[in-house]
Chains A and B, each alone.
Chain A
Amino acid sequence: MFNQGLSLDQAPPINIPFRFFLSAPFFGVLMSFVFFFVPFNELSNQYSHFAIGLIHLFTLGILSMIIFGAMQQMMPVLAGAVIKKPKLFANIVHSSLVLGTLFLSFSFILGIKFLLHLAVLFLSIAFLTFFILSIKLLFNVKYLTSTVKAMRLFSIAGIITLCFGLYLAISHINLNFDENYYIFVFLHILFASFGFALLIIMGVSFQVIPMFYVALDFPKFIQNKTPLILFILLFISAVFFYFDINFLILKLAFVVLMISFSFYGLKSLNNRRRPVFDATLWYWKLSLSSLIIAMIIWLFDFFESSYILAIVFAFGFLYSLLQGMVYKIIPFLSWFHLSSKGYFKLPTIREFIDEKYIKIHFFIHFISIIFFVLSYFQNSFIYVAAVLFLASNILFFINCLNAIIKYTAIAKTNPMDLSAFK
């Protein structure tokens, strides 16, 4: 297994992670249309059908899409866990995730119930294929690191999130909302946010922040204990909710964990040894700062609706981090694959995506978040936010595509031919 994990031949073909990464902004574009055309009071009510559709365009179309793409690349490198038929696996997961996301979101947005049946089918295929294989591979890894442990917990949390989601979808199909419906809604959100999303982000951050930025390691306690404590807290939450016990003390525990993680992440980035400016640092810092703000908003329930919390958590924390990661991964993979194939002279990693456009993208992304937040107080700002979000996603797509075009142009040439990148 180790032997396979280290070989580039055993890593998935480069077009696999690229396909997943390029699909994400497409769902961002769809979201911007929903923001633009659906009345704000519907969007800001988390139980409205529009909001459910919108949230899943993000959580499935963007969050899961990028995480699944990155995991297929990271499992061999970080864990020595090799997917034997990577193309088949990627084809099944990608196509069923795309279709399932579209069916689920638009069954709610357009009110077409039939689509929900298809969504259940396709999302079950995507998630079960992905998680069953991940669990099988990750639980066979011999040399355990904090990242592998977090990946294992993430996979289990992912399966549980899916089960809650399926229960909810079936409730909607049968129009049968029993007394447990809201408990399952809450647990679905909790496992998706703190289990599925945060566990993998934590696990990867422990490796990636020191690696990409030559920065300090996270303290051992944070690396080794936080994911497990978080995972256990999720199950205790389920018990609390089932027996209707006051959640405040657990909420506080979640908040302390998340703020500790963000604090050490920011500390590590601020004390990095590399002097070079790197625009992706902005994404990481915005992301971790947003997580702190989101946790404070959640703890004190500052706002009547959870709209602002959702915006800060989803776009401020999650999407910023995902974009920053993709901007690091695509140029590195392009360079690494070409370099390993023996190309004599290559563009540097920084030349695959022009940093100027990454900065412009960051600026538009940041301003869009500000306008989304302002929309809560002045609803008409949602139009500005939606247009900015549209522009941000288009630019994200173009930036990634440019790097891939450069890679493809060079990969088509003879390794000794220098003309392709002049």
Chain B
Amino acid sequence: MDTISSFLTSDHRACDVEFANLENAVASQDWEESQKQLEKFSTDLTHHFAMEETVMFPTFEEVTGMTQGPTMIMRMEHSQMRNILEDLKADIEKKDKNHFFGVSESLMMLMQQHNMKEEQMLYAMADMHLGSLVSKVIEDMKAI
């Protein structure tokens, strides 16, 4: 049976692969392909945020009563990452490979430390606190 942890962690890994595909396209300076990969990565990343922000986080907040806690900080970091996506887009449009890799490294580090906090603490807490609601939460996230 899926847990929130296994479901969302595997989605993190899928985003990592998309991110690496994007960097590979930029490394080979195939700007058309880079554009496509950025769109794909952005769609997947923002879809992941949407699953958390519209389904998992509200349920977690309702059950635990923690609205100003971990979910609030995760939302703030999501917003930081959304902003960086805009910078990446601008670099691809300008075909600025060097700056792109500086920005992409910032995103990568932010994303990885964010994932680490979610995977190691938040998801484990969610699985524990949500109990019988876990399968419904996963179904609702899949429906997005």
* Contacting residues, chain B, for A80 (C-beta < 8 A): 120-121
Flag if A274 contacts B116 (CB, 8 Å). no
* Contacting residues, chain B, for A332 (C-beta < 8 A): 109
Flag if B24 contacts A275 (CB, 8 Å). yes
Q: Which of B15-23, B41-49, B50-58, B132-140 contacts A (4 or more CB under 8 A)?
A: B15-23
* Contacting residues, chain A, for B76 (C-beta < 8 A): 340
With known contacts A214-B108, A348-B106, A351-B102, A2–B122 Cβ distance under 8 A: yes
With beta carbons under 8 angstroms apart, the residue of A77, A275, A349, A350 that contacts B116 is: A77
Q: Which of A211, A336, A339, A349 has the most CB of B within 10 A?
A: A349
Flag if A214 contacts B105 (CB, 8 Å). no
Considering the complex, give the chain B residue whose CB is closest to the CB of A333.
B109
Main secondary structure of the interface of A (DSSP, over half): helix
* Contacting residues, chain A, for B4 (C-beta < 8 A): none
Q: Once bound together, how far apart are the Cα atoms of A398 and B34, in whole Å?
A: 36
Give the distance to chain A from B30, nearest Cβ to Cβ, in Å: 12
* Contacting residues, chain A, for B122 (C-beta < 8 A): 2, 6
B101-130 residues at the A interface, CB under 8 angstroms: 101-106, 108-110, 112-113, 116-117, 120-122, 124-125
Flag if B27 contacts A3 (CB, 8 Å). no
> Is B80 on the interface with A (CB-CB < 8 A)?
yes
With beta carbons under 8 angstroms apart, the residue of A3, A274, A349 that contacts B70 is: A3
User: Interface range on chain A: under 10, 10 to 19, 20 to 34, or 35 or more?
Assistant: 20 to 34
* 0/1 interface trace, chain A 335-350, chain B, CB 8 Å (1 if under): 1100110000001111
Flag if B80 contacts A340 (CB, 8 Å). yes
Considering the complex, give the chain A residue whose CB is closest to the CB of B123.
A143
Flag if A214 contacts B19 (CB, 8 Å). yes
Main secondary structure of the interface of B (DSSP, over half): helix
Q: Once bound together, how far apart are the Cα atoms of A335 and B87, in whole Å?
A: 15
Flag if A349 contacts B106 (CB, 8 Å). yes
B contact residues, total (Cβ < 8 Å): 33
A50-101 residues at the B interface, CB under 8 angstroms: 77-78, 80
Flag if B121 contacts A5 (CB, 8 Å). yes
Flag if B69 contacts A3 (CB, 8 Å). yes
Considering the complex, give the chain B residue whose CB is closest to the CB of A345.
B87
> Is A276 on the interface with B (CB-CB < 8 A)?
yes
> Is B95 on the interface with A (CB-CB < 8 A)?
no
Q: Once bound together, how far apart are the Cα atoms of A51 and B57, in whole Å?
A: 57
Flag if A273 contacts B16 (CB, 8 Å). yes
Q: Once bound together, how far apart are the Cα atoms of A7 and B74, in whole Å?
A: 9
> Is B99 on the interface with A (CB-CB < 8 A)?
yes
With known contacts A2-B122, A3-B69, A348-B99, A77–B20 Cβ distance under 8 A: no
Flag if B102 contacts A348 (CB, 8 Å). yes
Flag if B66 contacts A211 (CB, 8 Å). no
7 contacts between A and B (CB under 8 A): A5-B121, A6-B74, A77-B113, A214-B16, A335-B109, A336-B110, A340-B80
Give 8 nearest A-B pairs by CB, closest first.
A348-B102, A273-B20, A211-B112, A3-B69, A350-B102, A275-B27, A6-B73, A143-B124
Other A-B pairs beyond A3-B70, A6-B121, A143-B125, 9, CB < 8 Å? A6-B73, A7-B73, A77-B116, A78-B120, A80-B120, A143-B124, A214-B16, A273-B16, A348-B102
